[in-house]
Amino acid sequence: MSTYLMHTDAEVYPSPFTFDPDRWLRRIGPLMDRNFVPFCRGSRNCTGQNLAMAEISLVLAVLFRPRGCKLELFETDESDVKMAHDFLLPLPKLSSRGLRVLVR
């Protein structure tokens, strides 16, 4: 099953398209825990999982350090990042130029 479909199942994650990081601070049920698979599991587990986690930590530390970068959206809206196709991996509309930001 597609991880996109698993992560947007309204029965497991109420209001799946709403940005709500607090949902992870509330009680996590077994169904929610079982369906969260950002890197897959088992023999087909993502080989770059440890590298991705290290990169996320480094990027977040740089962006949110005191007197860090200021980010501003540039010629980007929600339609540029919203999933429109699932060709083995989730992709936005084919004409999307991706997420573009100005770093100040």
Both structure tokens of 9 = 């199942």
**Cα 8 from Cα 36, distance rounded (Å):** 10
**What residues are designated binding site for heme?**
46
Q: Which residues contact residue 17 at a Cβ distance below 8 angstroms, ignoring those fewer than 6 apart?
A: 8
**What residues are designated binding site?**
46
Q: Which residues contact residue 28 at a Cβ distance below 8 angstroms, ignoring those fewer than 6 apart?
A: none
**Cα 74 from Cα 46, distance rounded (Å):** 31
